[in-house]
Chain A
Amino acid sequence: MNHSSNGSHRAAGVSTLAVHAGELRQKAGNALTDSIVCSATYTFANTQAVIDFLEKKQDREEYGRYGNPGEKVVERKLAALENGEDAILYASGMAAIVGVLMAKLNAGDEVVFFDECYHRSREFCSQHLSRFGVVTRQIRCCDYEAMEAAITPKTKLLVSESPTNPHLSVVDLERFTDIGRRRNIETLIDATLATPYNVKPLEYGVDYVLHSATKYLGGHNDLLAGVIIGRKDKLEPIRKLRGIMGAINSPHNIYLLERGLKTFELRMQRHNATGQAIAEFLESHPRVERVFYPGLPSHPYHAVARRQMHGCGGLITFLVKDADWRQTAAVVDAAKVARIAPSLGGVESLIEQPLIMSYYEMPIEDRRRYGIPDNMIRLSCGIENTEDLIEDLRQALEA
């Protein structure tokens, strides 16, 4: 949204976009906030109206699986926040990545991705895409030479998270997109942990930005959603396939997402500030062996983060010194403010032990390969008072 006055043109502030972008100024029933439209289908006045719609003379809704008025508002709002042309909402973050991969890849195609990522994304690539004849190549995160070396004439997509989960490695988006540009291959970044408040990958030339909107975008741990953002022409086939595969979001969820976005900037400011303060606290604590947080100078990708990111968000991973899995679990169990649960990015702080929560069934050699030691804890800082969270962690570590 470009708001102009006094003849001057200036990009609107993040909160102004978060509150207003994508919404109609004058809404149905003159309501200030958007309505929740639950209708499964949409009526046509007569046969001619159907024909006009089919001949694209009139832009309107047809059937719930193809689109919903509330969904369009949130898609426009998310696109505006990412500074992208278009966005497509999905039932979950996984539905979004599956939606893109299924739309873009055919049997015989190849996809190259950095291996530090959400374990379910990796599982879909390695175990399910392969069943459809798509070859996936996992590369150690941030090894750009190896990524380029893995490219063949069949490679169609380069994929990474940034920052990655749970190591918070920050991909150098200039180098990543440079490979894509030179080799004429599209690029996708899952920026769930960054959010557009901290980095806008499209501005680096990334083709697709993906978010689990369940996390910071929704922000209240009370909805599931995924979104893919990019150029309208590139997104069109993905949208078409969504209409066929049907992993759409629901009208009620979409409203909660829209509502959550209104406080997006405020929440992100808190997540960034608290994340930084807690990472510093943990690094100075004698019971902590190592902290993974890109805002710390000790983090291997600190320099990239400083250049590329506005802030580093609320997710922190750390190792408890000289602790086995039980002693690590005792720290998790002793937390009183942070609650034990998977997921991240909401107002409530969450804590978990990746070994137990996400990698319980994985053999030890694979856990080693993916860098998941027994003494690792992942903390998603909410927006509670920073001092309360620090006190809570202190007592949990010293219990």
Chain B
Amino acid sequence: MHFRTRAIHVGQERDRQTGAVVPPIHIASTFVQPGAGVWAEFDYSRSGNPTRKSFERTIADLEGGVGGLAFASGMAATHCAMMLLESGDHVLAGADIYGGTYRLLHKVLNRTGISVSLADSTDLAGFEAAMTSKTKMLWIESPGNPQMSISDIAAIASIAKRRGILVGIDNTFATPVLTRPLELGADIVMHSATKYLGGHSDLLGGALVVREKSLYDKLYFLQNATGGVMGPFECFLASRGLKTLELRVREQSKTALQLAEWLSHDRRVRRVLYPGLPAHPGHDIARRQMARAFGAMLSIEIKGDLAVAKRVCEQTKLFQLAVSLGAVESLIEQPASMSHASYDPAARAAHGISDGLIRLSVGLEAFDDLRDDLDQALGR
């Protein structure tokens, strides 16, 4: 069946007891067992919960994996994946990643003797050169955040496979509607479910989906042992969000492309970072790797300094000034002072996060309304 049909039905079978078309929200922390030492499918909600299982099954199916795990946040999901590593191991991450991931890698993982380095994952030779004999995990976002860089997931996965390194892809920006990294050879897909999967700015959640059962078993053990699970109410809202995921992502991507094209002809804008524009360095890979659309995130660099960028962010009326992304409401933010503030200033500069950079998360509002809003905010 097609993606959209599966998004509505897989994992969301009618409730056997009541026939409810929408499965009930199971809020019980514990489950009555058939006998001492005899375990039913669910025993304790940290170990497994029917509402969480529904969401996990749907997202696993949409990503083409064998199993999924839902977490309290995207960072809890990323952290769980990193706990596969041991002291002495090395993580090589792409250079265009979320500030929170940068912070986890550099300020938490480092304390357990795991070393980290960043390299440009769009430069295959350079990226491979940064791998060492200790490298056990590659961690990449595509499109990247906030430069919207596009990494060739299949090419990187094939290098990693040759060298026996795990590949984790943060697929939050692309979503399985546009890119399915497991089909391209990645081992782990990670999502901040807070973003497009939930889609309505009203839940926090994370997810991991994997290709192989043995890896799922390891991650499940870690999740159950460390306990950063998604709550039943959030799982319900996330499942509800998945039912309109394809509609939302396609519509928002279409509007983002229109905005990117309009902005790229605007004299007040120095450059537009959007993989759907032919001028974007990752455009050719994106055309191959993403399914007929380029996502709904874009960054622009305006002509002007920090103060001008700040003013633009504060002048919009439809685009609301807030971190996060991927929801029906359009958001605007300044990476240097908001989403990527946890980078060291020097690292920010090195990774091209300039003071004039503005990141837009394009929502479901009408294109004309969003264009008019940016037009007035950019000023004369």
Contacts and interface: CB of A to CB of B under 8 A. Distances in A.
Given A221-B21, A383-B243, A383-B247, A15 B365 contact: yes
A19 B322 contact: no
A259 B202 contact: yes
B30 interface: no
Interface in A6-31: 6, 8, 10, 12-16, 18-20, 25
B375 interface: yes
A388 B5 contact: yes
A331 to B, nearest CB: 19
Contacts of A267: 244, 247
B22 A13 contact: no
B108 to A, nearest CB: 27
A222 B8 CA distance: 13
B8 A19 contact: no
Contacts of A76: none
A148 interface: no
B21 A387 contact: no
B375 A5 contact: yes
Contacts of A222: 22, 240
B240 A32 contact: no
Interface in B320-358: 320, 322, 324, 327-329, 331
A348 interface: yes
A384 B328 CA distance: 20
Contacts of A265: 364
B364 A19 contact: yes
Given A384-B4, A385-B2, A33 B366 contact: no
Interface string B1-42: 111110011000010000101100000000000000000000
Given A12-B366, A267-B244, A339 B318 contact: no
Contact of B248 (A18, A266, A384): A266
B243 A19 contact: no
Contacts of A33: 200-202, 329
A348 B368 contact: no
B1 A13 contact: no
B313 to A, nearest CB: 15
A263 B8 contact: no
Nearest to B372: A5
A3 B372 contact: yes
A270 B247 CA distance: 9
B251 interface: yes
Contact of A266 (B3, B5, B247): B247
Contacts of B21: 221, 339, 341, 346, 348, 350
Contacts of A10: 368
Nearest to B12: A348
A220 B199 CA distance: 15
A125 to B, nearest CB: 29
B329 A13 contact: no
A6 B375 contact: yes
A222 B233 CA distance: 13
Nearest to B365: A16
Contacts of A8: 372
A6 B373 CA distance: 9
Interface residues of A, number: 40
B314 interface: no
Contacts of A221: 21-22
A19 B4 contact: no
B305 to A, nearest CB: 25
A271 to B, nearest CB: 11
B50 interface: no
Contact of B369 (A12, A259, A262): A12
Contacts of B324: 32
Interface string A73-116: 00000000000000000000000000000000000000000000
B9 A262 contact: no
Contacts of B367: 13
A100 B201 CA distance: 35
Contacts of A13: 365-369
A385 B5 contact: yes
A5 B376 contact: yes
A384 B22 CA distance: 15
B363 interface: yes
Contacts of A14: 366
A390 to B, nearest CB: 11
A263 B247 contact: yes
Contacts of B134: none
A220 B21 CA distance: 10
B247 A388 contact: no
A283 to B, nearest CB: 23
A347 B372 contact: no
B14 A339 contact: yes
A312 to B, nearest CB: 19
Contacts of B3: 385
B311 interface: no
Nearest to A262: B328
A13 B371 CA distance: 12
Please indicate which of the listed interface residues B237, B328, B367 has the most CB atoms of chain A within 10 Å of its own CB.
B328
B163 interface: no
Contact of B364 (A3, A263, A385): A263
B318 A3 contact: yes
Contact of A19 (B9, B328, B372): B328
Contact of B366 (A16, A337, A384): A16
A382 interface: yes
A350 B22 CA distance: 12
Contact of B2 (A15, A346, A388): A388
B364 A266 contact: yes
B303 interface: no
Interface in A342-378: 346-348, 350
B204 to A, nearest CB: 12
What 4 pairs across the A-B complex have the smallest Cβ distances?
Answer: A13-B366, A385-B2, A384-B5, A16-B365
Given A3-B369, A337-B5, 20 more contacts: A3-B372, A5-B372, A6-B375, A15-B365, A15-B366, A20-B329, A32-B322, A220-B22, A221-B21, A221-B22, A263-B248, A263-B364, A267-B244, A337-B1, A347-B243, A348-B8, A348-B22, A383-B243, A384-B2, A388-B1
Interface of A: 3, 5-6, 8, 10, 12-16, 18-20, 25, 32-33, 220-222, 259, 262-263, 265-267, 270, 337, 339, 341, 346-348, 350, 382-385, 387-389
25 contacts: A3-B318, A3-B369, A3-B373, A5-B372, A5-B375, A12-B366, A12-B369, A13-B365, A15-B251, A16-B318, A32-B322, A32-B324, A32-B331, A33-B200, A259-B240, A262-B364, A263-B244, A266-B247, A270-B247, A339-B21, A347-B8, A383-B8, A383-B247, A384-B4, A385-B5
